[in-house]
Amino acid sequence: MDNYIKKIKQNSIIPLACYDTYDVKKGLRDVNGKGVLAGLTNISAIHSFDEAGDPMPGILEYRAINIKDISKHLKAENRFGFEEVTYLLLFGELPTKSELAEFKQALVAKRQLPDEFVRDIIMKATSSDIMNSMSRSILSLAAFDDKVNDVTLENVLDQSLSLIANFPLLAIYAYQAYNHIENRESLYIHYPDESLTTAENILRLLRPDKQFTDTEAKVLDLALILHMEHGGGNNSTFTTHVVTSSGTDTYASVVASLSSLKGSKHGGANIKVAKMLDDIKAHVKDPQDETEIFDYLCKILNKQAFDNKGLIYGMGHAIYSVSDPRAEVLKSYVKELAAEKGLQDAYAFYKKIERLAPLAIAQERNIYKGVSANVDFYSGFVYQMLGLPEELYTPLFAIARIVGWSAHRMEEMLNMNKIIRPAYESVLTTKTYIEIEDREQ
């Protein structure tokens, strides 16, 4: 095996100089994080640079509406918004009261798995990797759909609504099955309540007593909204566009995007943030001593602490420089939840890390742009305060992002008639075939 690995590295690693020679941007982004233009979308917009090209506070718009405005109105009216924002992203406009009520009922009607699906599919071959379990369940659902390969817009919308409605069930039941079989915990399977919102049902399904507070559900609702969509260029959504362009079915497309999201560089960062903060608390003797905290952050950056990867998780973003608007919105709700839970000291510690980490990064790294907290920095803390298991952190991201994937899948179907196939420049040097008996042994 070692010899095979040696050959792979010897013949597959491309010199960094080649990227400059051919003007190829690694990760399809320049040094400022700006992505190579690969398509057009009218689903969402991200603004992180002003007209002069200078960094500015980040703005995220869903169908041209600022997410800060969405959050402000939901909070002022003290109501849930997941279903309303789902409607906005899918159909391009905010619903009227009657349209929203009708849409909620449509989701309720579809929030039902096939008979014995939990027993025959989810309970079999359980895994601690809930994202993989969800992928298996989604492909299994395809077998129950007699129109699986129908890629008309009407059918894809119908399939998308079904997946949006059932993603919470697929994730939570997969976790409960694993926890029962592998950890010998008591098994309880609750059915969703038709009168409750998506966020409320998630907490209801997870908790043995089905109980939760209004604040808990509202914070989770907001976290889901903030994770729903983030432009066409993020890895999992771009996967949606690429795979959809091939003409494949909805289930295959969603599993491809889900597989992208489960990567630690994409959807798994919130778990890392929570573990990193626990590690810092364990190794810093005085949580009030900012010098001690700063020094430990420098150790993390220098691969001398935590996971020795040299990363402060939850800090920085490929696109945002000055600020991540999702983190700004979530932070105000985090403060409210921390107060309800009596965790003000923990919240203050998070804020301290948020302030000190960019200073440590600026000292220890040559950076091309500013560094600020991203949405993962606070979402992990939210999930901890809600008592959610770590195995569900990334699946919760998927429960939200399936909305954005669905909108982008339909957008790709409507606007593109070519399979997405970018070019890769070969840097091979021509060789001559040598007969096997003449090759060196």
CA–CA dist 2, 6 (Å, integer): 6
CA–CA dist 85, 282 (Å, integer): 39
Cα dihedral 263, 168, 62, 39 sign: positive
Relative orientation angle of helices 393-415 and 198-206, to the nearest 10 degrees: 140
Count of CB atoms situated within 10 Å of the CB of 380: 25
CA–CA dist 370, 326 (Å, integer): 17
Catalytic residue among 227, 230, 241, 317: 317
Please classify residue 311 by burial: count the beta carbons closer than 10 Å to its beta carbon, then call 0-12 exposed, 13-18 middle and 19+ buried: middle
CA–CA dist 277, 347 (Å, integer): 11
Please classify residue 55 by burial: count the beta carbons closer than 10 Å to its beta carbon, then call 0-12 exposed, 13-18 middle and 19+ buried: middle
Among candidates 404, 329, 383, which has minimal Cα distance to 85?
A: 404
Strands (E), 141-240: none
* Assigned token pair, 139: 């492909």
Q: What stretch of H or E contains 321?
A: none
Between CA 231 and CA 346, with CA 226 as vertex, the angle to 5 degrees is: 135
Contact 315, 373 (CB under 8 A): yes
Exposure string of 150-175, with b = 16+ CB inside 10 Å and e = fewer, is ebeeebbbbbbbbbbbbbbbbbbbbb
Beta bridge partners of 65: 62
Q: What stretch of H or E contains 124?
A: none
Q: Is 59 helix (H, G, I), strand (E, B) or coil?
A: strand
Catalytic residue among 221, 249, 324, 376: 376
Contact 413, 244 (CB under 8 A): yes
CA–CA dist 61, 44 (Å, integer): 5
Q: How do 44-49 and 65-66 pair as beta strands?
A: unpaired
Contact 197, 83 (CB under 8 A): yes
Q: Is 307 a catalytic residue?
A: no
Q: Is 158 a catalytic residue?
A: no
Centroid of chain to Cα 62: 16
Q: Annotated catalytic sites, by residue?
A: 317, 376
